[in-house]
Amino acid sequence: MAQNRPVKITETILRDAHQSLIATRMTTEQMLPIIEKMDQVGYHSVECWGGATFDASLRFLKEDPWERLRKLRAGFKKTKLQMLFRGQNILGYRHYADDVVEYFVQKSIANGIDIIRIFDCLNDLRNLETAVKAANKEKGHAQIALCYTLGDAYTLDYWTKMAKDIEALGANSICIKDMAGLLVPSKATELVGALKKTVKIPIQLHTHYTSGVASMTYMKAIEAGCDVIDTAMSPFAMGTSQPATEVMVEAFKGTEYDTGFDQNLLAEIADYFRPMRDDALASGLLNPKVMGVDIKTLLYQVPGGMLSNMVSQLKEQHAEDKYYEVLQEIPRVRKDLGEPPLVTPSSQIVGTQAVLNVVMGERYKMMTKETKAVLRGEYGQTVKPFNKEVQKKALGNDKPITCRPADLLKPELQTIEAEMAQWKEQDEDILSYALFPQVATEFFKYREAQSTKIDSKAADSKNGAYPV
């Protein structure tokens, strides 16, 4: 019999699962009662921070994301905590200077993060250097994600070369990040097999159920040597989220990949989250539409979240009848912009430009600031060259940049701190403000008002303290 090689599991219910299904609206109060049980499962890690959770906490839940992290850290005594980090964008949508990136990594680890999954929407590794070095320096685990996508440029050679570069950069592990659910089982065998032959560091696979193949893909990936998979507890699994934890655990039971997890314990955890799912269905926060198989994602290679954004943009313009035209325009815009993977923020940039091209009735009659920035090289280098004509239209006679974009940015931490000094109650506030100046300011005002209320003993915690 083969030697046992238990598959490791990263649980995503506290981050990606609720980001994918209920617009990142799970509150800290909803998480805390169950984490003691979750801590007993034996997860490789629990993904609980970063991605959209930071923005959504401040913007919609009126919660301090740092406070959430500290509370989770206090509850998870033995399980590693993991976050998602957008390289030089951190958790925001523009490039930040290195001093902000370094400080954010330092504070994330100081407040409780063990593993930082870092990615760049163009797979330009230069945009990950600073974050990886900072994580190494703080003794955190730096995982670099390669954003999986399809296209002429994305060959096995491309992926294995990238994996070699990732290892050389000092990453502790590699994640294949398949945000749209495009990795089909047979390709997982090929890709994971090739990566395992190329690098020594562990390989983790992250996918979404959107196109319906995810659990089969995991099975094949594990058989090909994948070390860790990302799953979500069943009440917030499948659809645009991850395969269900309990199902994957059961699928490997009694095999050389047996996780050894206790299904009764998992059942208790699922029981805790199920009413939350029922409430979300009843309120409409969880749309049954996202729970099915969306085969369009395979046809158009578009992540689920991007499709729903596109629908709402078309609605605003009263142009819902243009849906299929835009779907066909997306791959064309993607080609013009150097065929990047479609993941935040490149997915929004390509999607919005495709909508504009169709609604305006003429391609690139209007270009967003972000489209121009991509064509100017401000996001980094794309795998394929830009469409020269479109680039000319965007830049005129300006020269594009070819260096690492952050090399052109001056340190900005001090300026930011000075700008927000009146609101600062903790050092971490500087970073909240750096990422989302307006949203953070609104939150700081709210926080101040709340503490004044509490001071005057007039606080009523039931009075809209947690707007959802």
Question: CB count, 10 Å around CB of 87?
Answer: 27
CA pair distance 424, 215, nearest whole angstrom = 45
Stretch that binds Co ion, among 15-23, 55-63, 324-332, 394-402 (CB under 5 A): 15-23
Stretch that binds Co ion, among 9-17, 157-165, 281-289, 326-334 (CB under 5 A): 9-17
Beta carbon nearer to Co ion, 209 or 436: 209
* Contact predicate 186/157, CB 8 Å: no
Q: What single-letter amino acid sits at 288?
A: P
Q: How far is the CB of 390 from Co ion (least distance, A)?
A: 30
Beta carbon nearer to Co ion, 17 or 416: 17
First-to-last alpha carbon distance for the chain, in angstroms, is 52
CA pair distance 24, 51, nearest whole angstrom = 9
Residues in the interface with Co ion (CB under 5 A) total 1
Q: How far is the CB of 179 from Co ion (least distance, A)?
A: 5
Beta carbon nearer to Co ion, 18 or 62: 18
The DSSP-derived string for 265-316 is HHHHHHHHHHHHHHHHHHHTSS-GGGGS--THHHHH---HHHHHHHHHHHHH
What's the gap between Cα 25 and its chain centre?
15
From candidates 11, 16, 114, 227, binder to Co ion by CB under 5 A: 16
Task: Tell me the HSE value of 27 on the side-chain side, using a 13 A CA sphere.
Answer: 13
Stretch that binds Co ion, among 13-21, 123-131, 221-229, 369-377 (CB under 5 A): 13-21
Binding to Co ion, residues 396-425 (CB under 5 A): none
What the block records as the tokens of 263 is 């299904």
Binding to Co ion, residues 443-462 (CB under 5 A): none
Beta carbon nearer to Co ion, 38 or 205: 205
Binding to Co ion, residues 296-355 (CB under 5 A): none
Binding to Co ion, residues 110-169 (CB under 5 A): none
Q: How far is the CB of 17 from Co ion (least distance, A)?
A: 9
Beta carbon nearer to Co ion, 121 or 440: 121
Task: Identify the CA nearest to 331 among candidates 302, 359, 357.
Answer: 302
Beta carbon nearer to Co ion, 127 or 241: 241
Q: What single-letter amino acid sits at 330?
A: I
Q: How far is the CB of 55 from Co ion (least distance, A)?
A: 15
Beta pairing class for 141-147 and 115-118: parallel
Q: How far is the CB of 206 from Co ion (least distance, A)?
A: 6
Residue nearest to Co ion (CB): 16
Based on its alpha-carbon atoms, the radius of gyration of the chain, rounded to whole angstroms, reads: 22
Task: Identify the CA nearest to 270 among candidates 458, 45, 37, 75.
Answer: 37
Beta carbon nearer to Co ion, 92 or 303: 303
Beta carbon nearer to Co ion, 16 or 339: 16
Orientation angle between helical segments 428-435 and 413-420, nearest 10 degrees? 100
Q: How far is the CB of 300 from Co ion (least distance, A)?
A: 18
3-state SS assignment for residue 207 = strand
CA pair distance 73, 178, nearest whole angstrom = 28
Q: How far is the CB of 111 from Co ion (least distance, A)?
A: 22
Strands annotated E in 44-136 = 45-50, 81-85, 115-118
Orientation angle between helical segments 413-420 and 98-110, nearest 10 degrees? 70
CA pair distance 428, 65, nearest whole angstrom = 10
Stretch that binds Co ion, among 12-20, 86-94, 346-354, 414-422 (CB under 5 A): 12-20
Task: Identify the CA nearest to 84 among candidates 125, 41, 126, 121.
Answer: 121
Q: How far is the CB of 83 from Co ion (least distance, A)?
A: 13
CA pair distance 323, 310, nearest whole angstrom = 8
Q: How far is the CB of 290 from Co ion (least distance, A)?
A: 13
Beta carbon nearer to Co ion, 214 or 219: 214
Q: How far is the CB of 412 from Co ion (least distance, A)?
A: 29
Binding to Co ion, residues 233-272 (CB under 5 A): none
Q: How far is the CB of 208 from Co ion (least distance, A)?
A: 6
Beta carbon nearer to Co ion, 16 or 428: 16
Q: How far is the CB of 191 from Co ion (least distance, A)?
A: 17
Beta carbon nearer to Co ion, 214 or 224: 214
Torsion of CA 262, 263, 264, 270, to 10 degrees: 120
Stretch that binds Co ion, among 11-19, 351-359, 380-388, 457-465 (CB under 5 A): 11-19
Q: Is 63 in the site for Co ion (CB under 5 A)?
A: no
* Contact predicate 109/140, CB 8 Å: yes
Beta carbon nearer to Co ion, 84 or 440: 84
Binding site for Co ion (CB under 5 A): 16
